[in-house]
Chains A and B, each alone.
Chain A
Amino acid sequence: MTSTATRTAAGLTPGRRPASQLALGLLVAAGILGVSCLLSLAVGTKYVPPVDVWNALVDPGNSYADTVIASRIPRTLLGLLVGAALAVAGGIMQGLTRNPLADPGLFGVNTGAAAAIVTAAALGWGGATSVWVALPGAFAAVVVVYLVGSGRGPAMPVRLVLAGVVVSALLTAYIQSVTLSLPAVFDAYRFWVIGSLAGRNPHLIVEVLPFIVVGLVLALALSGSLNALALGDDTALALGAHVGRTRLLGAVATTLLCAAATAAVGPISFVGLAVPHIVRSVTGADHRWLLPYCVVVGPALLLTADIVGRILVSPAELMVGVVTAFIGGPILVLAVRRMRASA
């Protein structure tokens, strides 16, 4: 019983797919991501055939189509970055807390960022959605969660999750009381909170890029330690894993990724929760495969959602945050229905 559980947790079940298959799958996923990037540049109020998109990318001219495509490049790049960031953050969070329901927002990252942005808007600072407001807010929230969750002993998953619930609840109450008493802030907040790739300042990409890159590198470097953590703290310690250090670095990576993503496009629900779930059905629980898959599948899902949002109510657009929920929700339900009878 125990040995089966630990083997499943480490992804070492006898039924695990061979590495060659997994690598092939990763390539296929990357191909899908490439197609979705191309489509993201092609589809919109003005449709540009993919061949023209390719030509415009290889040899940019001054035609109308080229201008249209250029206007879609920022949101595509943002989609790539944010999708990868959220999916990987979700993967780490689920590994750290050993809870498949964990969502990157669990440690208060999103609410911290939102609270900072609402405060900035209430105080009347311009450019309130900028990274430099959201990041400190997110980090402050996570630090509080970590301090409350750790106490004197090592940070345990259950305590961290509970501390996250506490901090998120208080911050949400704060956000609600500020937005409900200041109509102007509420008016701006209700559009920000939905999460959208459209109409963002291209400058944002450069601002959030370093945070997301550092976060991704840190995450991929941690993937082996996360596997050890999945065995339980005691076993992981016995195997020589640095449990506390892994958890701390994992929290840092998640915070970097989530805060940067939220600062760039607003809180986008569900990508961080659903993508690791979808990926796990292919890769099993081995983080060394799970996280790279997340890097590829996350943006593919986000960009597809963005494209769907442009088609559905054309010529208007549906915000990507709405679409991810309505794509991710049914996918999750399907995944649940395919679960083995034991679950």
Chain B
Amino acid sequence: MSATTLRLGGWLSLPVRRRSVVVGGALAAGIVVIALLSLTLGRLGIAPADLMPAILGHSTGPDAIVFEVLRGPRLVVGIAAGAAFGVSGALFQTVTRNPLGSPDVIGLTSGASAGAAAFGLLWTGILPLPVGALVGALAAMALVWLGTGRGFSSPARMLLVGIGVSAMSLAFVQYAITRVGVEQATVLASFLNGSLASRTWGHAALIWVSVVVLLPCALLTTRRLQLMEMGDEQADALGARSAPARSWAVLIAIGLATAAVSVAGPVAFIALTAPQIARRLTRSAGPNLVLSALMGAFLLTLADLLTQQSPFAVQLPVGVLTAVIGGIYLGYLLVAQWKKGTV
């Protein structure tokens, strides 16, 4: 296996494999291409020549509005939210040792939906839905923390309690949707699918700060998590104290997912698929955090580009499209795997 080791002082050494670097570079390039396309395409697109001035804030007129208000924040939020979902999913899947682990399974995204629904139902128009989503996600996680009886250290318990919290949240959401008028219900349902429409630079700042703070923390847990893939006893014997490591990983994952959900709504499928796709592309074990982040950002911005530009899906929230992209890709992987006979 062609791996070199990246060392930073005495406390960080990450083995870096060539295949991972190639995949990561391709994803980063893909994100840049999508970013350029999403700013330049369409009726309101900025002409390529005017792009640099618009980004640097030198342009006036329509281009400035397109960049500053319509497409810039949306793109920037999409990249960071996608990355946050990807990392969060990777952490959950590693910690729970379950390929279907994600912030959805422990009730985080449904809690966020319920929070948004409650704010939409109770305080119509006073507080924005994203605030509700933030409160809901945190409340759901508090419930899970209390419900397990031992915090975030036991994945099996978290999954089960999460299913309970999730079921209650979704029931509340469906109830809320039947209690409001059709118009308002449609707006609510749209947000509850996850949407990047009409974001602001404030959202962008929130999610970027979260990612910049939490991603390095997540990277610090990587080595222990890799050891824990061999089972707790082995990992403990090798010096990775698994119970606290797991709690930290879960806390970081929750922080990332909560930030992402509050700016983008519960876009569900990114957290589930991004780590899986990244893992299969690189053929490596471990949580693959950086690649999961890139893959998440790539998928979310791609889906958002398609929702913006597709003539069929103009009104649809991006969450619908991420489900299609994620679903098709997972299906393709599944078929490819059984053809090779490896699953």
Binding site for B on A (CB under 8 A): 101, 148-149, 151-153, 156, 158-159, 161-163, 165-167, 169-170, 172-173, 176-177, 179-181, 183, 186-187, 190-191, 193-194, 269-270, 273-274, 277, 318-319, 321-322, 324-326, 328-333, 335-337, 339, 343
Q: Does B62 contact A (CB under 8 A)?
A: no
Most buried by B among A158, A187, A277, A336: A336
Query: Could you list 13 examples of A-B contacts with CB < 8 Å?
Result: A101-B163, A162-B330, A162-B334, A166-B331, A166-B334, A173-B320, A177-B320, A180-B317, A194-B175, A269-B171, A318-B175, A321-B174, A339-B156
Interfacial chain B residues near A163, Cβ < 8 Å: 331, 334
Interfacial chain A residues near B175, Cβ < 8 Å: 194, 318-319, 322
Complex-state Cα separation, A336 to B327, whole angstroms: 31
- With A152-B338, A179-B189, A336-B149 known as contacts, the answer to whether A170 contacts B324 (CB < 8 A) is yes
Contact A273 B163, beta carbon cutoff 8 Å: yes
Query: Which of B76-84, B119-127, B178-186 lines the interface with chain A?
Result: B178-186
Contact B186 A151, beta carbon cutoff 8 Å: no
Rank and list the top 5 A-B pairs by shortest CB-CB distance, nearest first: A151-B338, A325-B171, A169-B327, A329-B164, A173-B323
Interfacial chain B residues near A319, Cβ < 8 Å: 175, 178
- With A148-B331, A169-B327 known as contacts, the answer to whether A322 contacts B174 (CB < 8 A) is yes
Contact B334 A159, beta carbon cutoff 8 Å: yes
Contact B178 A191, beta carbon cutoff 8 Å: yes
Task: Name the interface residues of B303-326: CB closer than 8 Å to any CB of A.
Answer: 313, 315-317, 319-321, 323-324, 326
Contact B189 A186, beta carbon cutoff 8 Å: yes
Complex-state Cα separation, A133 to B167, whole angstroms: 26
- With A151-B335, A269-B171, A336-B157 known as contacts, the answer to whether A186 contacts B147 (CB < 8 A) is no
Contact A165 B100, beta carbon cutoff 8 Å: yes
Residue from the list B154, B168, B193 in contact with A176, Cβ < 8 A? B193
Contact B178 A329, beta carbon cutoff 8 Å: no
- With A159-B343, A343-B154 known as contacts, the answer to whether A325 contacts B168 (CB < 8 A) is yes
Most buried by A among B164, B178, B323: B164
Interfacial chain B residues near A339, Cβ < 8 Å: 156-157
| A184: nearest chain-B partner, CB-CB | B182
| A191: nearest chain-B partner, CB-CB | B178
**B322 shortest CB reach to chain A, Å:** 9
Contact B330 A165, beta carbon cutoff 8 Å: yes
Residue from the list A153, A190, A194, A332 in contact with B341, Cβ < 8 A? A153
10 extra interchain contacts, Cβ-Cβ under 8 A, other than A148-B331, A169-B323, A190-B189? A156-B343, A162-B334, A170-B324, A172-B323, A180-B190, A180-B317, A180-B320, A277-B160, A331-B164, A335-B160
| B272: nearest chain-A partner, CB-CB | A165
Interfacial chain A residues near B189, Cβ < 8 Å: 176, 179-180, 186, 190
Contact A186 B168, beta carbon cutoff 8 Å: no
Contact B171 A326, beta carbon cutoff 8 Å: yes
Contact B178 A326, beta carbon cutoff 8 Å: no
Instruction: Determine the interface band of chain B, counting residues with CB < 8 A from chain A.
Output: 35 or more
Interfacial chain A residues near B159, Cβ < 8 Å: 101
| A173: nearest chain-B partner, CB-CB | B323
Contact B316 A177, beta carbon cutoff 8 Å: yes
Contact A329 B168, beta carbon cutoff 8 Å: yes
Contact B156 A180, beta carbon cutoff 8 Å: no
Contact B160 A336, beta carbon cutoff 8 Å: yes
Residue from the list A152, A158, A332 in contact with B163, Cβ < 8 A? A332
Task: Name the interface residues of B48-68: CB closer than 8 Å to any CB of A.
Answer: none
**B220 shortest CB reach to chain A, Å:** 28
Residue from the list B149, B154, B157, B323 in contact with A170, Cβ < 8 A? B323
Complex-state Cα separation, A156 to B337, whole angstroms: 13
Complex-state Cα separation, A159 to B336, whole angstroms: 12
Interfacial chain A residues near B339, Cβ < 8 Å: 151-152
Contact A176 B320, beta carbon cutoff 8 Å: yes
**B276 shortest CB reach to chain A, Å:** 9
Interfacial chain A residues near B315, Cβ < 8 Å: 180-181
Most buried by B among A190, A270, A277: A190
Contact A162 B99, beta carbon cutoff 8 Å: yes
Interfacial chain B residues near A330, Cβ < 8 Å: 164
Q: Does B243 contact A (CB under 8 A)?
A: no
Q: Does B298 contact A (CB under 8 A)?
A: no
Complex-state Cα separation, A339 to B319, whole angstroms: 36
Interfacial chain A residues near B323, Cβ < 8 Å: 169-170, 172-173, 176
Interfacial chain A residues near B341, Cβ < 8 Å: 152-153
Q: Does B41 contact A (CB under 8 A)?
A: no
Complex-state Cα separation, A153 to B328, whole angstroms: 21
Q: Does B177 contact A (CB under 8 A)?
A: yes
Complex-state Cα separation, A159 to B342, whole angstroms: 11
